[in-house]
Amino acid sequence: MFVSLGNASAWWHAIPHLFGYVTILWVIYAIGLCVWIVLQKREPAATLSWMLSLIFLPYVGFFVYYVFGPQRIERQRLRRERSRTELRGYGEVSPPHPDHDELAHLALESAGLPPTTATSVRFLVDGSAKYDALLEDIRNARDHVHLEYYIFRPDQTGTRVRDALVERAKAGVKVRVLIDAVGATKARRRFFRPLLEAGGEVAWFHPTRLRHFTRPRWNFRMHRKIAVIDGEIAYTGGINICDEQDERLTDDAYRDLHMRMTGRIVREAQLIFLEDWLYVTEQDRASFEGTNLWPESSAEEGPIQAQMLVSGPDSPWEPIHRMMVSAIYEAKKRVWLVTPYFVPGEAARMALTSAALGGLEVRLVVPKISDSMFVTHAARSYFDELLAAGIKIHEYGPRMLHTKALLVDDDLAILGSANFDHRSFRLNFEVSVMYQSAAIAAELEAIITEELAQAPEVTPLMERPFFKRRLPEAVARLFSPLL
């Protein structure tokens, strides 16, 4: 081995000016990579992080950034055009509620869906409540069932949902299931074969196929959780379909929150699903013939002001991020934020610390230990700054906290699938709901208060060993813009 190394070294030095040639090639690579990254026009911190990380990965860095970098995909035009030509316009399906404020208008312009209403909203805390309600509604479906999930595992919970879908498909109900190809890697076509044989349809969002290599989409995941039954009932929130989120099956099941909604808001959930379905399957309007997508019962106006928020790499506005930051700035009394992954950008940190410095009650609830140690360390790296501004930080335990909610004052709540991090705000396709309702805010306050009872407050005097806490936190924060 040493002889081989010696021969390689002799061969290296024998080539005239080889070191100079390699240096020139490396400089050309570094300049080209930097120009490419700079032209993406991302935040300076994220831009510098990518440049410093990849500049020392000669040539491999091009591939890494090509696949995993913060690229945009040409989907916005497809969504806008196909949804309004192949389906129906937003205004026709869900007319804007006349009594809306500046925040609702901002959501309309950035996310594209108008403010509307709900006749009822039912909070479902943890998986058992969500699965029981969803299965009951699926079994009562008469026309169609549309499901869109990031994770759909072929375990006990997934099998129960699949079998309920199979039974409905055999009864003539149209069943469409859209799942993310990465989040649901274990739920392969064989698992869904009974549903396909019964007449149901299954599609995978951004499958990792060789033909997509020239247009990489592996890093753009569909993180939404949507269910629409008969166009009359809609579900969304943070709970996937898997045993890990059912507290009846495991003691360490995630603490999470989901919503069951009726009223006009269901039409917006339907639109989101249909747009994603058309995008993935490339079907047209004819594929929905015979399905009553817009029943008259869903046109009824309700007492709860609600608005769906969608975001993804197809939009330059980062709608959910923008709405959360704007809502925090509009706060007059309090801001309560619950999130499993807390990796804020500069705008979000400024909003939270400004609210606290302005005398508002600002509370942040995060898991004591999340399912990603790297994200846990990154989140804790911001604690000193937040605590200094007067923000009260709580670490929930012993279960993993997966709730994603923002409560502002006594009448504004934003809940859904989006975490408070760069990936959810920029790379994932997410969906949340904004409620402007004192009743909804009161219910959310009660749920968060239960979580606070199991979430001790972090204090600046807590022990933070150098190698176990402070150093890993500093390293994780360095790479936080890439998360």
Residues with active-site annotation: 223, 225, 230, 402, 404, 409
Amino acid at 184: A
Q: How far apart are CA 268 and CA 471, in angstroms?
A: 46
Q: How far apart are CA 31 and CA 24, in angstroms?
A: 11
The full DSSP string for 2-62 is: HHHHHHHHHHHHHSTTHHHHHHHHHHHHHHHHHHHHHTT---HHHHHHHHHHHTTSTTHHH
Which helix or strand (DSSP H or E) is residue 310 part of? strand 304-311
Residue whose structure tokens are 């403010």:
115
Angle at 198 between CA 193 and CA 202, to 5 degrees: 55
User: What phi and psi, each to the nearest 5 degrees, are found at residue 150?
Assistant: -75, -45
Three-state DSSP class for 304? strand
Verify cis geometry, omega within 30 degrees of 0, for the bond prior to 465.
Answer: no
Amino acid at 133: A
| Sign, Cα dihedral of 289, 291, 297, 298 | negative
- Distances in Å between the alpha carbon of 381 and those of 48, 209, 345, 373, 375? 19, 37, 13, 12, 10
Q: How far apart are CA 21 and CA 37, in angstroms?
A: 24
Q: Residue 170, exposed/middle/buried by CB under 10 A (0-12, 13-18, 19+)?
A: middle
Q: Are 374 and 401 in contact (CB under 8 A)?
A: no
